[in-house]
């Protein structure tokens, strides 16, 4: 149990639709990162939020966007869904300093049909 909660756990969307995934960070964690993990691959960094500001972004198009709220919960939004967006989306929270462990949620499985 990592204290990081993601919802929904599974969802199916149609190509072209929009999706919002949610993450509740471990209490007090001010840094949240999102990762995309395609089947059989390692996770890929999408972006990170620190104290409600985007703090770095991976190689993902602008239709991937996010928010971090004052209580440090977070959302990942994906517009104009493509079939290749089908993946496990992982949220990770930490205190944002190198000595602190990063905690991952169980992920949200997105299938785009």
Partner 1 sequence: SQQGEEDPQALSIQEGENATMNCSYKTSINNLQWYRQNSGRGLVHLILIRSNEREKHSGRLRVTLDTSKKSSSLLITASRAADTASYFCATDANAGGTSYGKLTFGQGTILTVHP
In the complex, least distance from residue 16 CB atom to partner 1, rounded to whole angstroms: 26
Pick between residue 76 and residue 92 the one whose CB is nearest to partner 1: 92
In the complex, the residues that contact partner 1 under the rule CB under 8 A are: 2, 4, 31, 33, 35, 41-45, 48, 50, 55-56, 58-59, 88, 90, 92, 94, 96-98, 101-107, 109
Pick between residue 56 and residue 61 the one whose CB is nearest to partner 1: 56
In the complex, least distance from residue 82 CB atom to partner 1, rounded to whole angstroms: 18
Report whether 91 contacts 34 (CB < 8 A).
Answer: yes
Pick between residue 36 and residue 78 the one whose CB is nearest to partner 1: 36
Pick between residue 18 and residue 43 the one whose CB is nearest to partner 1: 43
Report whether 4 contacts 107 (CB < 8 A).
Answer: no
Q: Residue 56: left if φ>0, alpha if ψ -120 to 50, beta else—which one? A: left
């Amino acid at each position: 149990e990592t204290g990081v909660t993601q919802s929904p756990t599974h969802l199916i969307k149609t190509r072209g639709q929009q999706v919002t995934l949610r993450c509740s960070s471990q209490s007090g964690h001010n840094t949240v990162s999102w990762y995309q993990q395609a089947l059989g691959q390692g996770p890929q960094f999408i972006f990170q939020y620190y104290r409600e500001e985007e703090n770095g972004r991976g190689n993902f198009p602008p239709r991937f966007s996010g928010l971090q709220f004052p209580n440090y919960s977070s959302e990942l939004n994906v517009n104009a869904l493509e079939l290749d967006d089908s993946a496990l989306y992982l949220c990770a929270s930490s205190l944002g300093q190198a000595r602190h462990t990063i905690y991952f949620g169980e992920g949200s499985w997105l299938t785009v049909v």
